[in-house]
Amino acid sequence: MKLEFSAEPQAHFQEPWPNAYAIFSWLEFAISIPYPTYLITTLKENGKANACWHSWGCFSGTGQGYSALMVLTEGGHTCANILRAKEWCINLPQLEQRAPCENTVAHNGLENDEITDAGFTAEPSRIIRSPRIAECLVAMECQLTWHRPLFEDSGQRVFAGRIVHVALDERACTADPRLRLEQLNTMYNVLDTLDPLSGETRPGGLGIVRFP
Ligand SMILES: Cc1cc2nc3c(=O)[nH]c(=O)nc-3n(C[C@H](O)[C@H](O)[C@H](O)COP(=O)(O)O)c2cc1C
């Protein structure tokens, strides 16, 4: 039996935290699409590194090139840095690097060098000025193609960027897909899960992908 829902939240839905369904869509909590998480590195206006743990993104391309699409909250440092510098780097961290990823959220001040303050090491990119994170097995250097609000009056902005250079650690270069997933050990963001029938919400977490 299929259950049909309009996009409006219902009164009996438990919010996982105050205003959750105003800040995010309740549908994200009811549908649970796992998003891969990655660190977006950019440069602040003062030249210090910014690192943003992020998950609203996807990748697409053809023989004409490969691009990253990301949705960023307006008002955040990453959004401002990309609008100014028109570039960013996407670094894929492993589950084992969860603690330094969390540190990037805790040490988010303008004076922080967010890569080193988090416990990572910065390394220069090849094409862009934004630094890469040395410990991440994959780094994708991106240059801005276009950006626009998600919709009129939205507080979120969509960015598309061409991937102009990639650094792959040799450990991630195996042709064995099972081993590749084990090596990458990419963290997937699974938000708190809402049962729209009962309205109950339970804590989500970070998942990983494995072949059955
Ligand atoms: C697992 C995880 C995933 C996140 N995904 C996003 C995201 O997709 N979009 C977003 O705007 N913030 C996301 N955040 C929150 C940002 O990491 C956080 O607000 C960060 O401090 C913003 O940094 P900035 O102000 O330097 O851009 C996420 C946080 C965590 C812990």
Tell me what pLDDT residue 146 has.
98
- Site of tokens 């961290």: 93
With a 6 Å cutoff on the Cβ, whether 24 touches ligand 1 is: no
How far, in Å, is the centroid of ligand 1 from the Cα of 52?
6
Cβ atoms of 49 and 116 closer than 8 Å: yes
52 lines ligand 1 (CB under 6 A): yes
Q: What is the pLDDT of residue 199?
A: 97
**Closest ligand 1 atom number to CA of residue 187:** 1
What is the rounded distance in angstroms from the CA atom of residue 90 to the CA atom of residue 191?
21
Q: Report the C-alpha dihedral over residues 212, 193, 148, 130, rounded to 10 degrees.
A: -60
Q: How far apart are CA 28 and CA 33, in angstroms?
A: 7
Phi first, then psi: give them for residue 130, nearest 5 degrees. -60, 135
Ligand 1: centre distance to CA 62 (Å): 28
Residue ranges covered by each domain of the chain: 36-207
CA-53 nearest atom, ligand 1: 17
Distance in angstroms (rounded) separating the CA atoms of residues 166 and 80: 24
Q: What tens-digit pLDDT sequence spans the chain (212 residues)?
A: 999 999 999 999 999 999 999 999 999 999 999 999 999 999 999 999 999 999 999 999 999 999 999 999 999 999 999 999 999 999 999 999 999 999 999 999 999 999 999 999 999 999 999 999 999 999 999 999 999 999 999 999 999 999 999 999 999 999 999 999 999 999 999 999 999 999 999 999 999 999 98
State if residue 36 touches ligand 1 by the CB under 6 angstroms criterion.
no
What DSSP state is assigned to residue 198? T
- The residue whose CA has the least distance to atom 30 of ligand 1 is 53
pLDDT confidence of residue 143 = 98
**Tokens standing for 101?**
């990823």
pLDDT of residue 195: 98
pTM of the model: 0.96
Confidence (pLDDT) at 48: 98
The CATH homologous superfamily to which domain 36-207 belongs is Electron Transport, Fmn-binding Protein; Chain A (2.30.110.10)
Read off the tokens for 104: 């990037």
The secondary structure of residue 161, as a DSSP letter, is E
